[in-house]
């Protein structure tokens, strides 16, 4: 038989890089993996979760409620607590009360990780051939979603405090001139301790980006959204918090805010959430209805109990201190072992260091350097995976994303030393 039984998407989809990276990490336990975005294993809240689960299951009424299906939008208590938590964070960052409306539980959706929110948002907004703007570099798993759905991408240069606004304007203007602005749907930003670069976007930049998008809406003929992925917001161990884009004047109508409890609490529970304006909220709710008609109820109840009991709040400082230590270990190893031609910034939160080599360095998946690193027993994420397919510029091939999240300090030091040796040979 000559024709494929698969749908267009089934044929188009490629193996997500995250799958083989995770497989490689798990199948070679002796590898110093600085690649996977796993969280710090020893800090996972086993004791607290056991206590919370026991409390839920100790009574038939709460136990049965948790073991029953819930609603598609998510557990009302978890939505309420999430909304209050986020509003308090934004109010503190703004030094004044944030406007309540943007955080209303009626706009919230609890999802299976924030990954599901990214997926269903894309599904509800984008048709094949539509365009999404992303940071250069960006979260490579989101690029896989876009690729699988046939969505085109344009990269916007990233600076130390978020995207280069003049480049954003240039790209919007070129899309207007070519008429393709009608296919533009959203700008996707990972705004806190970005995966992969660790850059945090200032509130000013978010506000200015939204104002720019709003100026181009009349050419697009429809709203242009900002999808703010705040996956690493809670993992801040230095500096002040930035308010979310929800606090900008256009925020409540144009921002889709994606958050998660995976990174700051129970990674394996995969409970995420989103705040969405209409008509997106309704569309995403219906799509989620078709996907799974609700995130696992027991896990939502656990998260709600963690927030209510104060376990979540008391876990955060402990977690931040651990990541600060690991980030310092990685930074110290980079200072000691990396040659001067490798540029990187000490992280202030999140899980990553983005190390950028000279143009002559090729760290790509098929490169000799990547193979040598594997032979030396160290794995990193090749930076090239984090660049959108955008023919208007040449993606950098000389970067490495290094994660200090899952690895122990000794593994971090050993992996960085091995990488440093290889990098020195490439000088």
Binding site for ligand PLP (CB under 6 A): 37, 113-115, 139, 190, 195, 229, 231, 260, 262, 270, 272
Q: Is the CB of 190 or the CB of 220 nearer to ligand PLP?
A: 190
> Residue 228 or 250: which CB sits closer to ligand PLP?
228
Q: How far is the CB of 113 from ligand PLP (least distance, A)?
A: 2
Residue (117 or 181) nearer to ligand PLP, CB? 117
Choose between 110 and 181: whose C-beta lies nearer to ligand PLP.
Answer: 110
**Any idea of the CA torsion for 105, 107, 108, 112, to the nearest 10 degrees?**
160
Give the residue with the Cβ less far from ligand PLP, 90 or 234: 234
The distance of closest approach from Cβ of residue 246 to ligand PLP in the complex, given in angstroms and rounded to an integer, is 17
Which letter does DSSP use for residue 245 in this model?
Answer: G
Select from 155, 176, 188, 144 the least CA-distant residue to 12. Answer: 144
Residues in the chain: 427
Report the nearest approach of ligand PLP to the CB of residue 230 (Å): 8
Which residues, in sequence order, are CB contacts of 256 under 8 Å at separation 6+?
A: 117, 121, 186, 225, 226, 227, 228, 274, 275, 276, 277, 280
State the residue number with the nearest CB to ligand PLP.
113
Q: What's the number of CA atoms in the CB half-sphere (13 Å) around residue 54?
A: 6
The smaller minimum CB distance to ligand PLP, of residues 326 and 413, is found at: 326
Rounded distance between C-alpha atoms, residue 389 and residue 137, angstroms: 11
Residue 319 Cβ vs ligand PLP, minimum distance, rounded to whole Å: 15
Are the beta carbons of 204 and 247 closer than 8 angstroms?
Answer: no
State the nearest-atom distance from the C-beta of 303 to ligand PLP, in Å.
12
Residue 85 buriedness (CB in 10 A; 0-12 / 13-18 / 19+): middle
CB of 405 to ligand PLP, least distance (A): 9
Q: Rounded to whole angstroms, what are the CA distances from 227 to 132, 156, 236, 280?
A: 10, 14, 21, 12
Which C-beta is closer to ligand PLP: that of 115 or that of 297? 115
Smallest distance, Å, CB 335 to ligand PLP?
A: 26
DSSP class of 402: E
């Amino acid at each position: 038989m000559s024709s494929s039984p698969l749908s267009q998407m089934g044929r188009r989809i490629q193996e997500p890089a995250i799958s083989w990276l995770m497989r490689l990490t798990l199948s070679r336990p002796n590898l110093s993996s600085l690649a996977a975005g796993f969280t710090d294993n020893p800090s996972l809240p086993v004791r607290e979760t056991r206590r919370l689960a026991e409390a839920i299951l100790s009574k038939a009424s709460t136990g049965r409620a948790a073991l029953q299906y819930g609603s598609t939008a998510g557990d009302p208590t978890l939505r309420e607590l999430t909304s209050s938590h986020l509003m308090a964070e934004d109010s503190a960052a703004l030094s004044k009360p944030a406007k309540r409306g943007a955080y209303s539980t009626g706009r919230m959706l609890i999802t299976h990780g924030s990954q599901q929110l990214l997926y269903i948002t894309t599904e509800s907004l984008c048709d094949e051939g539509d365009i999404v703007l992303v940071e250069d570099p960006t979260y490579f798993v989101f690029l896989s979603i876009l690729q699988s759905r046939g969505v085109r991408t344009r990269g916007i240069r990233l600076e130390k405090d978020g995207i280069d606004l003049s480049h954003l304007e240039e790209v919007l203007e070129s899309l207007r001139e070519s008429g393709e602005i009608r296919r533009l749907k959203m700008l996707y930003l990972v705004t806190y301790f970005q995966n992969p670069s660790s850059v945090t976007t200032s509130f000013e930049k978010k506000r200015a980006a939204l104002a720019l998008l709003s100026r181009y809406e009349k050419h697009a003929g429809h709203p242009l959204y900002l999808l703010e992925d705040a996956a690493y917001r809670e993992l801040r161990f230095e500096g002040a918090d930035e308010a979310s884009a929800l606090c900008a004047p256009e925020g409540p109508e144009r921002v889709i805010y994606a958050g998660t409890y995976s990174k700051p609490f129970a990674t394996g529970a995969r409970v995420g959430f989103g705040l969405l304006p209409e008509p997106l909220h309704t569309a995403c709710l219906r799509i989620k209805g078709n996907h799974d008609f609700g995130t696992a109820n027991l896990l939502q109840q656990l998260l709600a109990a963690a927030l209510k009991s104060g376990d979540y709040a008391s876990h955060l400082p402990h977690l931040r201190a651990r990541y600060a230590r690991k980030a310092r270990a990685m930074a110290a190893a980079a200072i000691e072992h990396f040659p001067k031609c490798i540029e990187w910034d000490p992280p202030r939160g999140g899980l990553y260091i983005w190390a950028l080599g000279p143009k002559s360095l090729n760290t790509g998946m098929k490169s000799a350097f990547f193979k040598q690193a594997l032979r030396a027993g160290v794995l990193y994420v090749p930076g090239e995976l984090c660049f959108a397919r955008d023919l208007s510029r040449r993606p950098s091939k000389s970067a490495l994303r290094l994660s200090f999240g899952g690895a122990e300090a000794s593994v971090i030091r050993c992996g960085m030393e091995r990488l440093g040796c290889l990098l020195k040979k490439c000088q």
